[in-house]
Homo-oligomer: A and B are copies of this chain.
Amino acid sequence: MAEGQATRRPTVYDVAQEANVSIASVSFAFRRPDKLSDATRERVLDAARRLGYAPSAAARGLARGRTGILGLHAFDLLLERPDPLARPLSGLKSPRLDTGSPIGWDDTDDEVLSDPRAFPLYVDEVQRGFELECWALGRPVMLSSGSDTDVSVADTVGRVDGLAIFPSPQTAPTLARHSPSIPIVLFSTAPADDAHHRVRVDNAGGMRALVSHLIDEHAATDLAFVGRPEAADVVERHDAMLAELQDRGIRSRPGVVDATVRGADDLVPQVRALIAAGRMPQAFVCASDQHAFALLDALEAEGLRVPDDVVVTGFDGTLGSRLTTPALTTVRQPMEAMGRAAARILAGTAGAAPSGGAFDVVFEARVVVRRSCGC
């Protein structure tokens, strides 16, 4: 095994000895080069290089009281999320690496892992934005995941100077305890009575614009919402759809098409029921692109053509939405920008929060018109 190396890591003491100076000088050579004479500085740096000295971030963090790292945390829940088509990533093959012979294609699970319906998703693009900004700021990023138990969260909190989080239902209360000591940013969470910062998208505006498009351009007024209004995001989108219809004096059909189970399997019976009852809507408005992917599969399985027989729309604007057939009309969130905003807030480069409290940054969403609505 690779872990547990032979050689002990060199420390300031080793370098100090090698360079014939005190440990303070070693430290200064790196942190306060100006406080040292050129000669000693060079001597120290040289010794450090020779020894392969790498300052211990742990020791530095302890002494300084901050690690310098910004964290991005995803709860397990997220990866086990009920979105259709979010594959469980357990059960992947783990080919032996110690045989010395090349690893065959069939041992890589590449088909599963390269599926654009599974990557990059919303979280992946937000993460990328976070990374880009941290890179620009010169700050390392720590990625972690875990349950939303106190212990797991605390472990993550203990490693970073600030933490951005994709929320699980239990998130806010558990985190509240840590808010006083480090800044915390929640993505896609409705405002609440806590001290967390927030970065989110204008779900209502995006959904209303989408519904308006369907009504105005495609005369579609009988809309069925696909998704379970539980997560804050989905609730907002659902509400906005209903609100836009109501504002226009259009009566909306009751209930939603529930798509909480993985894959299209669960949608097929519901689609069949709608067909049988002669209640097919003019358009399925999905809570997310993921839901739309699954629905497209279910509709195809039942021989329905999109957009000819029925319109389908998504939400998020992930890359995968460009790759469906037909390409998906959806609402794009500026995910990278959202990730960047979170990083700036945590790093303290975003100015002061308005009204003294926490940041609540809302981004505009934008309708992306493609083939699936009939355009």
Contact A135 B79, beta carbon cutoff 8 Å? yes
User: How many whole Å from A186's CB to the nearest CB in chain B?
Assistant: 13
Chain B residue with Cβ nearest A337: B108
Whether the Cβ atoms of A7 and B142 lie closer than 8 Å is no
Give the Cβ gap from A108 to chain B, nearest Cβ, in Å. 4
Q: Is A354 an interface residue (CB 8 A)?
A: yes
Q: A102-B364, A155-B54, A364-B102 are known contacts. Are A3 and B97 too (CB-CB below 8 A)?
A: no
Stretch at the interface among A242-250, A284-292, A341-349: A341-349
Let me know if B61 and A113 touch, CB within 8 A.
no
Judge if A9 is at the interface, Cβ distance under 8 Å.
Answer: yes
Cα distance A200–B334 when bound, in Å? Answer: 34
Chain B's closest residue to A45 (CB) is B150
- The docked-state distance in angstroms from the alpha carbon of A310 to that of B342 is 46
Determine whether the beta carbon of A109 is less than 8 Å from that of B337: yes
Are the C-beta atoms of B180 and A7 separated by less than 8 Å?
Answer: yes
Tell me whether A55 and B158 are in contact (CB under 8 A): yes
Residue of B nearest to A174 (CB): B49
Interface 1/0 per residue, A343-375 and B, CB below 8 Å: 011111111111100011111101000000000
A60 vs chain B, min Cβ distance (A) = 8
A67 and B62 in contact (CB under 8 A), knowing A52-B177, A180-B6? Answer: no
CB distance from A74 to the nearest CB of B (A): 8
* A41 interface residue per 8 A CB criterion: no
A297 close to chain B: CB less than 8 A: no
A70 to B: closest C-beta gap in Å: 10
Chain B residues within 8 Å of A167, by CB: none
Is there contact, CB below 8 Å, between B61 and A354?
Answer: no
Check: A39 CB closer than 8 A to any chain B CB.
no
Q: Give Cα A345 to B132, complex, Å.
A: 27
Cα A55 to Cα B6 with chains together (Å): 29
Stretch at the interface among A120-128, A253-261, A274-282: A120-128
- List 16 A-B pairs, Cβ < 8 Å: A1-B349, A7-B181, A8-B181, A50-B177, A53-B154, A54-B155, A54-B157, A56-B158, A97-B359, A98-B350, A98-B354, A102-B364, A107-B337, A114-B335, A119-B128, A319-B319
In the complex, given contacts A5-B180, A55-B154, A104-B364, what are 15 additional A-B residue pairs having Cβ atoms less than 8 angstroms apart?
Answer: A2-B183, A5-B182, A6-B180, A9-B181, A30-B151, A50-B177, A97-B359, A98-B359, A100-B354, A103-B337, A109-B337, A114-B317, A120-B124, A134-B143, A135-B145
* Chain A contacts to B: CB under 8 angstroms: 1-10, 30, 48-62, 67, 69, 79, 89-90, 92, 94-100, 102-105, 107-110, 113-114, 116, 119-120, 124-125, 128-129, 131-132, 134-136, 138, 140-146, 150-151, 153-159, 161-162, 177-178, 180-183, 197, 202, 205, 317, 319, 322-323, 332, 334-337, 340-341, 344-355, 359-364, 366
